[in-house]
């Protein structure tokens, strides 16, 4: 291994500005999310695109706790919903209309 080269890379990484919030896109098609399990960083966004011909309704739960679910409202066909994950933890994204739709989101 080329030690000076690695040190240069490390120095550049440390000098780089903080990473910007990323956006992960999840498609809703066939009454399913395109992923079942994702990991993002705090302050990242997840964008949900409804490519079905039926309404969806995103709920964001902390674990199995329904009481504090964030209800993102009815999402018509073709509609997009943007969800900001500003806290670390494990979340479960469900569809209020279709109980089989589930996406586990880990926020680091």
Q: Which residues bind Cu ion (CB under 5 A)?
A: 56, 95, 97-98
Q: Which two tokens stand for residue 60?
A: 């964001």
Q: Which is nearer to Cu ion, 8 or 31 (CB)?
A: 31
CA 93 to centroid of chain Cα atoms: 9
Q: Which is nearer to Cu ion, 6 or 80 (CB)?
A: 80
Q: Which is nearer to Cu ion, 27 or 97 (CB)?
A: 97
- Measured from the CB of residue 57, what is the shortest distance to Cu ion in angstroms? 6
Cα dihedral 64/66/72/77 (nearest 10): 70
- Measured from the CB of residue 48, what is the shortest distance to Cu ion in angstroms? 10
Residue closest to Cu ion, measured at CB = 95
- Measured from the CB of residue 59, what is the shortest distance to Cu ion in angstroms? 10
Edge-first strand order for the sheet with 80-85 is 32-33, 23-29, 44-50, 80-85
Tokens 């956006």 correspond to 23
């Amino acid at each position: 291994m080329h030690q000076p080269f690695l040190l240069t890379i490390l120095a550049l990484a440390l000098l780089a500005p903080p990473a910007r919030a990323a956006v992960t896109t999840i498609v809703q098609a066939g009454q399913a999310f395109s992923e079942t399990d994702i990991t993002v960083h705090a302050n990242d966004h997840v964008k949900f695109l409804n490519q079905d011909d039926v309404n969806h309704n995103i709920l964001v739960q902390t674990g199995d706790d329904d009481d504090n679910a964030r209800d993102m409202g009815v999402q018509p066909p073709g509609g997009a919903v943007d969800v900001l994950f500003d806290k670390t933890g494990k979340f479960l994204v469900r569809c209020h209309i279709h109980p089989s739709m589930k996406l586990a989101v880990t926020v680091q």
